[in-house]
Amino acid sequence: MTGKLRYIDSHTGGEPTRVVLEGGPDLGTGPLDERLERLARDHDTLRTSVILEPRGSDAMVGALLCEPTDPKYSAGVIFFNNVSYLGMCGHGTIGLMVTLAHLGRLGPGNHLFETPVGPVEVRLLNTNTVEIENVPSWRYASAVAIDVEEDGRYVGDIAWGGNWFYLTTHPTLRLTRENIPNLLRASDRIREALRRAGITGANGGDIDHVEFFGPPDDTSANGKNFVNCPGGAYDRSPCGTGTSAKLACLAAEGKLAPGETWVQESILGSQFHARYRPDREGRIVPMIQGSAYVCAEGVLVRQPGDPFADGIH
């Protein structure tokens, strides 16, 4: 990794994405999941220096642009946040597409991105509007009860949308900006209670996202969510993988038909328009449409002797 990292920042529905274009470590070739392992094992300072203060923030998601394994892919990408790495990131994929369009590297139409959890089809509809076809999603378990000492019992679903989610409702808190600190504390307690109880996703997958749902404020939307991400920051957008997980639960309940639109509102009021089609294995393939805007571009500098060159831990 060099002392300088070229980047572009965007936000999708208020949630920031920082795309690292140049200056990252040499991860070699091969499947992206293997390159992610090398990045995490040998070069984690890229993640920390890009995302943590003094250069970043807890809410930011990073996206390392990678050479794809096959020419059919327009780009390869590895996503990361303030504590770890993400298999897939919906808002980040939308931000990456708008960033590559801003650079003139990709134009309107269909593109295929390679991620560590599989290919993602991306459609650039105009300068700022993108629809992604996410990885297959499904509900893993329903009506899963978890007791939280401070709050009592929650009952929710476990679903995969590119990350593992526990989806539930809060018994008393409305999904408002004023309640964000309380929602964060409650969802942190749920995540820790799930881990203590040994409740996981498929194959022991860690449930690192907690998602509260409630009625929307905008009458044009179908629902509102609050998503607590793995690093303890909340998602400013409606969360692409979280919306995918929600669609999987709605489809499993027979409450949303294939092709029917679901409008998901975020805690800030931004929206994703989502729909799905079934696949041959009984899962769903979500399509999520949202808008992103480029808001900064520049170079991150790592000076010799800087005690916080690798970020403030």
Annotated active-site residue in 66, 229, 239, 249: 239
Annotated active-site residue in 66, 89, 229, 249: 89
**Which of 127, 49, 99 is closest to 297 using CA atoms?**
99
Check if the beta carbon of residue 115 is closer than 8 Å to that of residue 87. Answer: yes
Three-state secondary-structure class, residue 144? strand
**Which of 45, 103, 119 is closest to 111 using CA atoms?**
119
Distances from the Cα of 288 to the Cαs of 39, 108, 169, 175, 264, in angstroms?
Answer: 28, 16, 22, 22, 10
> Rounded to whole angstroms, how far apart are CA atoms 67 and 292?
23
Reported as type and span, the H/E element at residue 42 is helix 32-42
Check if the beta carbon of residue 202 is closer than 8 Å to that of residue 160. Answer: yes
**Which of 101, 50, 56 is closest to 75 using CA atoms?**
101
Q: Which long-range contacts (CB under 8 A, 24 or more apart) does 147-151 make?
A: 147/193, 148/186, 148/189, 148/190, 148/193, 149/189, 150/189, 151/186, 151/189
Structure tokens at 223: 């629902």
Structure tokens at 290: 């949202």
> Rounded to whole angstroms, how far apart are CA atoms 81 and 20?
13
Query: Any idea which residue has 């993602």 for tokens?
Result: 120
- Is 239 an active-site residue? yes
> Rounded to whole angstroms, how far apart are CA atoms 90 and 245?
11
- Is 89 an active-site residue? yes
The catalytic site residues sit at 89, 239
